[in-house]
Structure 1
């Protein structure tokens, strides 16, 4: 069988290309694939895309490098799968928060409910430490990460969640409660003011913040959002 070559990128002038073992067909047991994705997620979250090696991932997942290549053609494909899987899981959890906390605000028209939603949204920025560590590496290594991985991540995660939130803000605008000509931008601003602020201050969850501090950041974010978007009486 022909040997495959893992096409890495250069970081700081150091090549991270890795020569792989024999390339085999993409068949394999689902549980092995899940173990590989879990192991790769841990390694990518810890080491980033450029530094992570297939050998290190294989060791963490307790499989052989051959087994990894039974499922994935190279590190780029594996990373793309990991980031899509992670973003999808976080997006589903965040959509659940939108339904649980933001839908009642739309139904009641009581904008005070945004404070409760904001606090729970801010807390969620620390619920998925591994995922947000991955996001930190995406930001730091954007020039080295395959563009397809970034596109997949945006579609599976941020864009999907922003769409869900923007539909609720559009409804609040229709009700005359907020002034949001561009509901998508309003959703992006809310996420930045509330969730991203906590992620930044907690170093993507690596240094968890006390609940009181998270609530304080959330309250300030919601207050800033309402100053900008609350409809004039």
Structure 2
């Protein structure tokens, strides 16, 4: 009987690769199980590392790991949304059309960043059980950074006479509420996608309402 060859040993991963694997696994486990139920053992299994390896990278354990993952994930999504704003509002040709294009691009990354928004759903569900500092850091790195960048763009458009926005921060909140919030609420941050024609109609209606408030 011919002996079967032994499987080739897996290549050893470097520190950066292990950390990335841990962060990716933590995002998946936290997004699936939530902060309270997720365990280091489950994250270690998902990342294919030992629990000792996780503590070597994250000595603060689950709290530090969750804080790191939600911060890094929120920062990536914020950067993508800020890039979308620059693309659509950096040079405005047709204000209503450009705002509608921004709105559509704004809500579409929900599927691209599905892992992040799974985390967001868990954050909202478990807000009372999360460390306040973690919540504050997530908001600053994600939603507040995005709103501040939108306010900057809207303030610039107001300076050009294209909008009326004495308080750009309030105008940014109005845009988000009118154009994106209904879609994010109905889809639960991308969990239950809506038909594209319906999304387009909702964004267009939201932009028209926004311009009734802030159009010049």
Query: So what's the TM-score if we normalise by structure 1?
Result: 0.81
Distance 2:113 2:39 in 1: 23
Give, in angstroms, the shift of residue 109 of structure 1: 6.4
> 1:53-93: per-residue Cα shift (whole Å, max 9, x none)?
11111111111111111111221110000001100110111
> 1:122-142: per-residue Cα shift (whole Å, max 9, x none)?
222333111112111111111
Instruction: Say whether residues 1:170 and 2:132 are aligned partners.
Output: no
Report the structure, 1 or 2, having the larger helix content: 2
Distance 1:133 1:193 in 2: 23
Aligned residue pairs total: 202
Report the structure, 1 or 2, having the larger strand content: 1
Query: Considering only aligned residues, what root-mean-square deviation do their CA atoms show, in Å?
Result: 1.6
What is residue 62 of structure 1 aligned with on the other side?
Answer: 48
Mean CA deviation greater in 192-201 or 94-103: 192-201
Give, in angstroms, the shift of residue 32 of structure 1: 0.9
Distance change in 2, residues 1:87/1:44 (3 Å): same
Q: What SS class does the counterpart of residue 208 from structure 1 fall into? A: coil
Distance 1:30 1:180 in 2: 45
Query: So what's the TM-score if we normalise by structure 2?
Result: 0.87
Instruction: Say whether residues 1:219 and 2:204 are aligned partners.
Output: yes
The answer for unaligned runs of 5 or more in structure 2 is 1-13
